[in-house]
Amino acid sequence: MPEDSTGFAEVLAALRRVRGINPFFALDVGRPDETWLPGTALLEGPALKTTIDAIAARYNAAEPRVAASLFFLSYTARLLSPLTAADLPIDIRPENLWWQHHPANGLSVRIDLPQLGPTAREALEPVVEAIQGVTPVARGLLWGNAMSNIAGALKMVVRARMLTAEEAELRGNRLMSAPPFEQAGQFLSIPGELGFLRRSCCLYYRVAAGGKCGDCPLVK
């Protein structure tokens, strides 16, 4: 298949355009060294459970579901931030990913080929299912984490003056108009800024040194 038919140039240009917003928007491309795992290792084998266990140990999280939530929060932040800013369906399926988890530096992800792919929901669904197969955790919580990262990315895009707050809210509400992001939260009217309040909690407050996030629905 010719590269042009996959959106090769369009995806590369979009990734270059947004990567300077902050480090979460810098999604690298290409096969890395042997210390990285293929994205499919998230779906089968021991790597996902090993990583969730390592996160639990790092954050002193007594409940496995808390570590599972933190994993998906980090995973989606690194993938959905550039996708949201680019407003492009970049291929983030596990089949097109590389990832690694470092005990001190946390999770890193990169895509193999700069190409267009399915919706974020379709790309993330197998990972949601894999996490639930390893650790009992609510689907609504996991998808709430993803929507929280989308809202956070939109907030940064507004601060970078790539969109107005009104334009960013329209983009966010469009994403929340269909499952699984439907009813994930609501955007708040703040002059010149974009606010968001989610309907589920990521559980970060349940780790030893944790707290409540800016979009947390729990009473602060």
Measure the N-to-C terminal CA separation of the chain; round to a whole number of Å.
53
- Interval 92-117 mean pLDDT: 95
| 121 pLDDT more than 70 | yes
pTM score, two decimals? 0.94
**pLDDT interval class at 183 (50, 70, 90):** confident
Burial class (CB in 10 A: 0-12, 13-18, 19+), 153: buried
Alpha-carbon distance 193 to 53, whole Å? 37
How is residue 183 written in tokens? 């009813």
Torsions phi, psi for 104 (to 5 deg): -100, -40
pLDDT digits (tens, 9 = 90+) for 45-80: 999 999 999 999 999 998 999 999 999 999 999 999
Predicted pLDDT of residue 1: 41
| 171 pLDDT more than 60 | yes
Alpha-carbon distance 200 to 217, whole Å? 7
